Amino acid sequence: MGFSCHDVGLVYPTRDGGLAALDKVSFDQKDEEFLCIVGPSGCGKSTLLKIIAGLMAPTSGKIVLRRTSEKGRPLNSLVFQEHGVFPWMSVLDNAAIGLEMQGVSKEERHRRARAFLQPFGLSQFASRYSHELSVGMRQRVAIARAFLTDPYMLLMDEPFGSLDAMTKLILQKELLRIWEEHKKLVVYVTHDLDEAVLLADRVLIMTGRPGRIREEFTIPLPRPRQLNDGNRPEILRIKERIWAILEEEMGKSLEAAS
């Protein structure tokens, strides 16, 4: 099950003939796997996520989904750093917007949304609007909305990137708890190596532009995860190896830009 990337490439047209963003990206992902992607800035991580989501077409290669969508159930749901909470809607209506787009009646979608707001600690804020919420709470709404539509996979682009360290830790813990319950296939893009190792079953490391998959690491941590698991000696060794690769790739990127 899951999906595969087969030699995915993307070239942006330019006056000079084209800028290669991705080059022959290939990997497989299984159902219920939490996959994190890390790499230097500008390596094409977010672009790859958009191609997987079907928002962009690759110049070469293809994405093979080993599952077809069912009526009323999306193949994927996206969560971005900007959280995308609509300011003119209440928390309840924001959480339920995906169900509304699926044609679910107002009474039913509100019932399902209220039930899902509770584990995110948002029940008492159901009638509030985005300007009345903290950044972390708005991101909780976006994540609740993503899970609520029951997609086959979640595509997450640095969803906690703009949060302070304490709020990020709290939301990482909440995400792990909800993911353990629902076991969605997740592709998670991040710049935060500690976050990647804490969340992922597997970490893919991309090269500098044009982005390729340079290496992958399986994270040998049992689930459910604990926030201090990243301090285990075997995990510290993995993080050191990943950082060494990222440092090398960032150095290559800087050399290419100079």
CATH code: domain of residue 217: 3.40.50.300
Inter-residue contact 9 to 62 (CB < 8 Å)? no
Residue 196 has pLDDT above 70, yes or no: yes
Mean pLDDT of 28-39: 92
pLDDT of 91-144, one tens digit each? Answer: 999 988 888 888 888 898 899 888 888 877 888 999 999 889 888 888 888 888
Residue 72 has pLDDT above 60, yes or no: no
Number of folded domains that form the chain: 1
The H-or-E segment that residue 166 falls in is helix 165-182
In a domain, 193, yes or no: yes
Inter-residue contact 175 to 100 (CB < 8 Å)? no
pLDDT bin (cut points 50, 70, 90) of residue 1 is low
In a domain, 133, yes or no: no
For residue 73, the model assigns a pLDDT of 65
Residue 209 has pLDDT above 80, yes or no: yes
User: Rounded mean pLDDT of the chain?
Assistant: 87
pLDDT bin (cut points 50, 70, 90) of residue 51 is very high
% the chain with pLDDT above 90: 40
- How far from chain centre, in Å, is Cα 160? 10
In a domain, 13, yes or no: yes
- pTM for this entry: 0.89
pLDDT bin (cut points 50, 70, 90) of residue 69 is low
In a domain, 118, yes or no: no
Domain containing 44 equals 1-67+185-258
Q: Where are the beta strands (DSSP E) in the chain?
A: 3-12, 19-29, 34-38, 60-65, 76-80, 153-157, 185-189, 202-206, 213-218
